[in-house]
Every structure is written in structure tokens, then in C-alpha cells.
Structure 1
Amino acid sequence: MNRILAFTIFLLFYFTGSSFAQTPTKKPNILFIAVDDLRSELGHFGNTKIQTPNLDQLANSAVSFTNHFVQVPTCGASRAAMLTGTRPRRTVELNNLIMQNEFPKKAENEIPETFIHHLKRNGYHTVGIGKISHSADGYVYEYEEEVSNQRELPYSWDELLFDAGKWKTGWNAFFAYADGENRQSMNRQVRPYEAGEVDDLGYPDGLTTQLAIAKLKELKDSDKPFFLGVGLFKPHLPFTSPKKYWDLYDEESIPAALNPTKPKNVSESSLLPSGEFNQYALGEEHPDLEKVASQAYAKKIKHAYYAAASYSDAQIGLLLAELKALNLDENTIVIVWGDHGWHLGEQQVWGKHTLFENALNSALIIKIPGKEEKARIENSIVESVDIYPTILELTGIESPYTLDGESLVPLIQQEVKPENQTAYGYFKQGITVRNERYRLTKYFRNQGPTIELYDHQNDPLETINIAAENPEIVANLMPLLEKGNTGLYEKNKSDN
């Protein structure tokens, strides 16, 4: 009996009772919440000042992964890998605009464009609200253009919804300030943070949440199972949120990064000059690879990020409360996913776009209804490409093609640890592999050193590249890294 068939039988028993004679219920619903730039730093992990009480409560009946890694540390490419279940094979797949530039140009064919499309083909009613693909509202247009009618994912959605409020477009809302202005309209003459004197509806994520709550009420009586994707913007830059979330924190008690300077024995090509962060021209400081942020400013920006994350956490709490109030929680899989991490001053970087732990490690929580007894914090190494096969196994749907990830269902339900715990990342002309102890990175470039090795047992903050003095470890790990070379840098292999 193959694994999918066996699990389908399990689902039938689980959702209908112990007898095949009973009338079967529909497949489980899925509430998928994508949170922009949400690091793997949540309250229930401990050793942090961040306040995420709703995610902490969800984790009490779910599996929360501390070592989840995205494939690409930038929004569009990370989401493309997650949605397709495949690692990048072409350099264009590392670009934020990979979906915008390619997906709408393809005719619908046998291979689905995303797992959402595949669910739709298999009887699911699919609804997208907010940022699930790269576009802020799911439509293709540039930051300062009018909204188009071209969907970024043309075949995935039965419904695609968004409330831009006073900001009028999705991209304006994405970079919103409380007064209705945005980064574009202010020509970047803004701070990278704001504590708005508004309630939760004074920023776009509050509107997205209310739209999702209203849609849940409609979906409750649907004959079809549903996939509801909700994309929250915060804590993406600018770090804006209602003041009440700022007031949760004592800024002085928030610690600055423990590793605020560049790692030893690395090229600056491996790092990031924090250009996106410094676009916000009115920031009091503009730290980069030549200048470390002051302790006071580092605390302020971390405070702003934490407040924005707490704002999103509150919206997630509202969604989960409504799911429970409608009794939908009894048959709904909940997945909360951060599309990548973010350096908050670690390694002298403010931003993503590196192959270090802080950029690749992001939040992932999966709740299977009725399996609360398996709730735990899980430290196994997992990847974003694992989400696609996990959803297929939980819904009993066959895979449409060979996926790069592996289902997390055995790990979630039976606490079976993966034999080969590895996660691959791609960016900046490099490939990185993370296992239980080491991170090995290889760059296909001229600037040396091109090999970096970090020992997470002795140096979890990745402060020193120890590749040069550990050639045997590098040699042992290099075949593992090469397994993840999908051909992305094939032309460069002879040069390195």
C-alpha cells in the first residue's frame, strides 16, 4: 500500500469515525497565513523580548519549527519555491519578479502553477487575500502604477480579494503610513518606522484581517473544502504599527544583536550594505558595512520590528478566534509561514538578501486538527519546499510531479526525525546547505574566500568562517552541498 493511499484511509477514519458506513465529511480546510519577513523568533521559543501571544497559543496545539529555512532570502523567489515545491534551477528564479514575469505568460497545462492551483483542480475553493505570491494584492503592476487586471497567479484562485483602504492600491498599502501616505508618495523622505495613533484598522493588515474574517463566515457553509490564503505585510519595512503595540515594549530592555559586526574571514560580497533599509531617508542613522549602528538606534529599530510583529500576531489571533467561533477549527489545517528572516543588525546587516542564518531562518507553525497531543517545539531541519508535499499528504491528493521537498506529516504526527536533515538556500551567486551542526556555503564568484563554514554547535551566531582551518569537514560536507546544486551555477563550476 503506498503512503498516500494509507494516509487517505487514515483521514477517512479520522474525519468520519471508525466506520466506513458513516457519511464521509469533506476534506480538511486549509488556512494558510503568510507573514512577510517574520524571523524564527517567537515568544514561545524563549530567550527573546518579542511578544507573540497568539502564535504562542497556536503553538500549544501545533508543531512549531525552530529550524525552518527558506530557499531564497527574498520575497518573490522564496514564495515561488514554496508554492511550486521546487528549488531554483535558473538564476531568474532568484528574482523577486519571477512569478510576475513568467507565470501569467504561460497557458494553463497539465502541470499546475502552484499547489493552490492543484488544490483547486481537486475540489477546493481557493481564496487569496493580501500577499501570497509576490504582489501585494495578487495583481501585476509596478509600485507607482494603477492596479491592473492581470493576476500574478492566473489559475490558482477562485477569488482574489484585497481592501487597499485610503492607500488605494496594494503597493501603496504595502509601504503604508497611518496618514494615508506611503514610501513612494513621500519620495522615500520617511523614517523606517512609525507608531501610529490609530487602531488596528489604521494600517492595511487590519483591513486584510477583517476581510478574511468576513470570508470565513461565508466559507463556513460551503459544500467544498476551502483554501484561504491570508498574506500579512508586517513586519516588512517600514516597521509601522499602531502605538499600542509599541507600548508593549520597554525599549531599553530590548537587547541589540549579540553579533553586531562583520563575521571574520568573509568577503563583504557575502554580506549586505543594507540598501533597502537605508532607502528610508529620514532614519536617524544609516548603518552599513562601513558603519555599525549605535546601541540606541539598534534598540529603536528592533523595537519597531517587534511592535510590527506583535501587530501581525494580533491579527492572527483574530483570525484564529473566528475560526474557532465558527467551529471551523475542528476541520481546518492551519499553517503560519514567514517568507524569510531578517538581520536586525546581526553581522552588521539590516535586511535580508544573504545566505546567513538570520536571512534564511523563518517562522513555520503547522496545526493538524485533532492532533493537539503532538504539539511541540520541533528542532529538526526543514525547508519551505516541504510545505507542498505536506499539504498533499494531509489532503490525500496525489503529487502532480516530482517535488524537491518531503512531507512533514511523519515528523508532525509520529515524531519521526528525518534521516538526512538538510536545508538548501540560494542567493548572491552562492549555495548554502544547513545540517544539524554546520552551515557550508559555496560562492561562484571571483572574490574570496568562496567557501564558508560555520559550526552551529560552537558558533550559533555565525561570527567566524572556519573553512580554511577545517578542510576535512569541508570535504566531507561538499558532496551534500553539491546535491543541492540544481544546475543553477553549472556554467561557473569550472571556475571554482
Structure 2
Amino acid sequence: MKFKFFKPTFLFLFFTCSTSLGFAQSNKPNVLFIAVDDLRAELGHFENSAIITPNLDRLAAEAVSFTNHFVQVPTCGASRAAFLTGKRPRRTAELGNNIMQDEFSTKPETEIPETFVHHLRRNGYHTVGIGKISHSVDGYVYGYEEEVSDKKELPYSWDEFLFDSGKWGTGWNAFFGFANGENRQSMKKQVKPYEAGDVDDLGYPDGLTTQLAIKKLRELKDQKQPFFLGVGFFKPHLPFTSPKKYWDLYEEDQIPLPKNPTKPQNVARQSLLESGEFNQYALGEEKASLDNQLSDDYARKIKHAYYAATSYSDAQIGLILDELKALELDQNTIVIVWGDHGWHLGEQQIWGKHTLFEYALNSALIFKIPGSKLSKIDDSIVESVDIYPTLMELLSIESPNGLDGESFAGLLKSKDSKVGNVAYSYYHKGISLRTDRYRLTKYFRDAEPTIELFDHQNDPLESINIAAENPKIVAELMPLLENGNTGLFD
């Protein structure tokens, strides 16, 4: 497969002064962090996966790939805020997409770093962001249909932030962009939720992001400071758009249908999702709802679109990893690939992410340590808030006080290492606990049932809530769930 390269034409950049402690690059590992929007834990190297991700598979062959990584909040901005701060949500504002633009962007700098990127910057790292790392797609605070502002979402984290909005003109237009340069906003939502564009890789924004990342790696190779380079890809976030060649990787009639396409039993409607984000794309041939399943043909079409968009991002990641190796930076660079949450692809009659079920909370996570020969697919339960302290331990940097996560660095160094094996997530006035066997969710609402229990040993698809007939198990797990109660719903 051949890829064409063109010089990016339009950039958003901001530069600030860095606090350098004068480390030589050879003394501290660099970090390449890649965020992929809506990338659920379904990758080519996982068992029974139909998705095609050869570059992530190649990375995983030299890394630790987690099958049971769970995010704190199943929505983009809030998930990223928890990940970047290493802290669980404690206020309802921290469950929303706008928490960083509303609060982080306005706060003065204090002793407590705003993010782990800020903490790295204070400890001698040159920090560069490209694309969607926080919720903003280009580093600035402005609405979907507003002019680009000069207000930074994370004012203290980045030495540089870059984005190429290409023919779309602004970051948010690019985020919802189609191949002809239009976007969901400009078309007043009169668009389909998918597109197979007759374009090369640079015909969509993620291709432009890749070229920026490659160019920046070449520049970073020659500096003395260690670097943190964050690269954020849009796809497979809606709209599921990608060059046609990635659609052509799949036979649509062979795309597997959702394994559990009906609503789970014994749960309240309030625990589920009406697929509103998906239905915003007004020209979609069918609408999803809790009262209406998509036809098999259309379900395959949408899954095909998601798979193709994921394969497109996978190809971009491969280009960056190839450049890292060509520059010999791979020998001293930690590589992390992280999905900000999962996505229901018709499972439980849902097309979207805003639930406290496995499909929304379970996302991709791969960690590669330079020089390590350890390669494994690990089923330990880890959380997004654990990444902050893990990275600090790997870099021999002391973590700030008050983090909620716990380091799983041991899992990256030994086949036999174990961690605490619990994860907490928050949404819909609920707290969800995941152990190695069970998911227990408690909702703070009137609609019954407010307690849900799923046995992943016997029901990995979370199809039946068994809380009512298993009060002993609920009673045993409830104190553990309460350990994750941050007072959010008090």
C-alpha cells in the first residue's frame, strides 16, 4: 500500500516558554503519545476481531496491549480531563465535554500542574501537541460554529501546539469534515454519518496531522531536551469518514453483526442511550433508537464505516512509527496509544458511547517501553487515571500528591506482575465498578432498578442484569464500589 505526501498548507500554532532543567535527551526517554477518538478495545491482534489494524498489531508485538482498560467517563472531554489529571470526577461539571475549556483555560498557574503534560514540562520535557489531545481539536477554546479564538484550553501544558485545518478552515470544521471541504455544521447536519472519500490519505484531516507529526519528529531529533509529543487522531469518531481504499479492505457482507443487538434485560431505560449523536446525521438511511433496531444491512454498513475509519487511523499511526524508527528515536522513546472511550456498534441496541456499559467504557491501550522485549496481551484491569502515575514511574519523575490512579509500571516489565484489578467509571448519575469478573453499577436516581450486576464470566455481553437474584454478591461488592465514590452524586 502506497501513500502520497504533500506539504501542509495551513497551520494553527502557539508557542510558549519552556522551563528547562537541562536534561540531555539521551538521559531521559522521550514519549510519543497517540490519542485515538472513540477507539474501542477491538483491534486486529485481539481474539475474534474482524477489524484490520496491522500497524497497531505490529506495535503490540513489541509492547503490552491491554484488553481491559477502562475510562473514567464515556464522553470525550471528561474522559480526557480525568486521564490528563489522573483524577476521578468529583463534580457534575467534570462529566461534561466542556470542563477543560470552561475551567482549565481560565485558571492561573499554581503549584499543582494542570495536567501530566504540564508536570513533564516542569521537569525538563519539551512538550508538543498536535491534534486532539484535550477536548479542543487545535488547542483553542471556541464553539463549533465560532471563529477561532486565541484562548488556550491548556495554557501551561504545551511548549508548542500545532494543527493543520487544511481546506476545512478551522479545527472544529475539520473534526466534522467531509472530503469536499464541507462539514456537519456547514451542511446543517444534512449529511450521512459515513463517507468513503475518493481521496488519498491527505484528503481528510488525520492525514494532515500525520504529516505535521513526521515533520516535528525530524525537528525534535536534533534537540537536547527530551520530548513529549502528543498526537491526536479524529477517526473513528463520527462522521465515520475515510478514504475509499480503507473501505475496500473489507467485504461488507462479511462484517459481523452485533453479538447482542437487543436491550439488556432487567435494566431501566435511563441506563441506556437513544443514539442521539448518531442520529444527528440527518441523511442517514435509518435512525437508531431503543424502540427500533437498525436493519442487518444498515448495521453492517455503519460497522463497515467505523472499521474503515479505524484502519485509516491505523495507517497514519504506522507512518509515524516508521518515521520514529527511521530517525532511530524508537530506541529511547516510550510509545503509548490510547482510546478516549469505547463505542457501542449496535450492541445492546445502542449506537454511541454515553453509557456505563462495557462497550462504552472499554477502550484501546498499548504501552511500548524502549529496550524491553516483553510482549503480551494483558487482561489486567487498568484505568485511564493510572496512566499518569505509570508514566511518571517509568520516567523516574515524582508524581504530584492527590492522584487517584495507581502505577501499573510493573505490568510493563514482567509477565507475572499483577495490579489491583478494579476500575471505576461515572455517568448518567451512576458509578460503575469493574472487577475481573463483575460489573456492578449503582445509579443515584428514582428509576428502578438502581443496581445492575453483570457476570462477565457467564455473560460477557452484559445482556442480563442479575442483581435482584444475587443480593449476596451485590453486598460483597458494594463496599468496593463505595471506595470509588468521590462524592460526585452526594
- TM bucket, shorter chain: over 0.9
CA contact (8 A) 1:26 1:224 kept: no
The aligned residue for residue 363 of structure 1 is 364
For residues 310 and 222 of structure 1, the distance between their equivalents in structure 2, rounded to whole angstroms, comes to 33
Residue of structure 1 equivalent to 2:422: 422
Structure 1 match to 2:251:
250
CA contact (8 A) 2:25 2:224 kept: no
Partner of 1:413 in structure 2?
413
Deviations 1:392-434 (A, max 9, x none): 0111111121211111111110234435310000000000000
**Structural mapping, 1:155-170, within 5 Å:** 155-170=156-171
1:389 aligns to 2:428 (yes or no): no
Cα distance in 2 between the residues matched to 1:460 and 1:407: 27
**Would you say how many aligned residue pairs link Structure 1 and Structure 2?**
467
Matches for 1:127-146 after TM superposition, within 5 Å: 127-146=128-147
- The aligned amino acid for 1:65 is F
Partners of 2:25 and 2:223 within 8 A in 1: no
Unaligned runs of 5+ in 2: 1-23
What's 2:175 paired with? Answer: 174
- 2:340 matched to 1:352? no
Equivalent residue, structure 2, for 1:313: 314
AA matched with 1:225: P
Q: 1:378 & 1:295 partners in 2: Cα distance?
A: 33
Q: Which moved more, 1:198-207 or 1:391-400?
A: 391-400
**SS of the counterpart of 2:228?**
strand
Amino acid at match of 1:176: G
Give the match for residue 374 of structure 2: 374
Deviates more, 1:395-404 or 1:343-352: 395-404
Partner residue of 2:50? 49
Checking the alignment, whether the CA contact within 8 Å between 1:162 and 1:208 is kept in structure 2 is: yes
Q: Which residue type is aligned with residue 483 of structure 2?
A: K
Match of 1:475 in 2: 475
Counterparts of 1:336-347 in structure 2, within 5 Å, are 336-347=337-348
CA contact (8 A) 1:380 1:417 kept: no
Cα distance between partner residues in 1 of 2:170 and 2:343 = 26
Residues 24/337 of structure 1: CA separation in 2 closer, same or farther (3 Å cut)? closer
Partner residue in 2 for 1:484: 484
C-alpha distance in structure 1 between counterparts of 2:200 and 2:285, whole Å: 26
> Counterparts of 1:175 and 1:464 in 2: how far apart (Å)?
36
Q: 1:419 to 1:236 in 2, by over 3 A?
A: closer
In the alignment, the residues of structure 1 paired with residue 25 and residue 357 of structure 2 have an alpha-carbon distance, to the nearest angstrom, of 47
* CA-CA distance at 1:24 after TM superposition: 9.1
SS at match of 1:334: strand
The Cα shift of 1:362 comes to 0.1
Aligned-pair distance for 1:374? 1.0
Aligned equivalents of 1:470, 1:413: Cα separation in 2: 38
RMSD: 0.9
Whether contact under 8 Å (2:130, 2:163) holds in the other structure is yes
Please tell me the residue identity of whatever aligns with 2:455.
D
After superposition, the C-alpha distances for 1:329-349 in whole angstroms (9 at most, x for unaligned) are 000000000000000000000
Q: Is the 8 A contact 1:73 1:427 kept in 2?
A: yes
Letter in 2 for 1:52: T
Equivalents in 2 of 1:355, 1:114: separation in Å? 25
Q: Which one-letter code corresponds to 1:278 in the other structure?
A: N
Q: Which residue of 1 aligns with 2:325?
A: 324
The answer for the alignment partner of 2:80 in structure 1 is: 79
Match in the other structure for 1:198: 199
Provide Cα deviations, 1:258-313, integer angstroms capped at 9, x if missing partner: 10010000001000000000000000000101101111000000000000000000
Task: Assess if the C-alpha contact under 8 Å between 2:33 and 2:336 holds in 1.
Answer: yes
Q: CA deviation at 1:138?
A: 1.2
The sequence identity of aligned pairs, in percent, is 74
Q: Deviations over 1:10-56 (max 9, x none)?
A: xxxxxxxxxxxxx9932000000000000000000020210000000
Native 8 Å contact 1:430 1:442 kept in 2: yes
Tell me the equivalent position of 1:211.
212
Partner of 1:493: none
Contact 1:70 1:340 in 2 (8 A): yes
Identify the residue that residue 5 of structure 2 maps to in structure 1: none
Given that 2:376 and 2:415 are in contact with CA atoms closer than 8 Å, whether structure 1 keeps it comes out as: no
Please give the alpha-carbon distance, in whole angstroms, between the structure 2 residues aligned to 1:309 and 1:221. 32
The alignment partner of 1:191 has SS state of coil
SS of the residue corresponding to residue 161 of structure 1 reads: strand
TM-score by length of 2: 0.94
> In 1, are the aligned partners of 2:25 and 2:225 still within 8 Å (CA)?
no
Q: Distance in 1 between matches of 2:49 and 2:379?
A: 17
Query: How far off its partner does 1:104 sit?
Result: 1.3
Match of 1:115 in 2: 116
8 Å contact 1:30–1:332 — kept in the other structure? yes
* Equivalent residue number for residue 229 of structure 1: 230
- The alpha-carbon distance between structure 1 residues 387 and 24, as it changes in their structure 2 partners (threshold 3 A), is closer
Can you list the C-alpha shifts for 1:444-489, whole angstroms capped at 9, x where unaligned?
0000000000000000000000000000000000000000001111
Deviation at 1:175, TM superposition (A): 0.2
Instruction: Return the alpha-carbon distance in structure 2 between the equivalents of residues 423 and 236 of structure 1.
Output: 24
- The residue that corresponds to 1:281 in the other structure is 282
| Distance (whole Å) between structure 2 residues aligned to residue 382 and residue 249 of structure 1 | 32
Letter in 2 for 1:475: A
Q: Where does residue 459 of structure 2 map in the other structure? A: 459
3-state SS of paired residue (1:380): strand
Give CA deviations for 1:51-86 in whole Å, capped at 9, x if unaligned.
000000000100000000000000000000000001
Give SS of 1:379's match.
Answer: strand
Name which of structure 1's ranges 403-412 and 213-222 shifts more when overlaid on structure 2: 403-412
Amino acid at match of 1:192: P
Cα distance in 2, alignment partners of residues 104 and 42 from structure 1: 35
Q: Distance in 2 between matches of 1:24 and 1:35?
A: 27
Q: 1:442 maps to what in 2?
A: 442
C-alpha separation in 2, matches of 1:301 and 1:48: 16
Provide the rounded CA distance (Å) in 2 between the counterparts of 1:267 and 1:26: 54
TM-score normalised by L of structure 1: 0.93
Distance 1:331 1:345 in 2: 41
Q: Which residue number in structure 2 is paired with residue 15 of structure 1?
A: none
1:117/1:157 contact within 8 Å kept:
yes
CA contact (8 A) 2:380 2:419 kept: no
Please state whether the residue corresponding to 1:272 is helix, strand or coil: coil
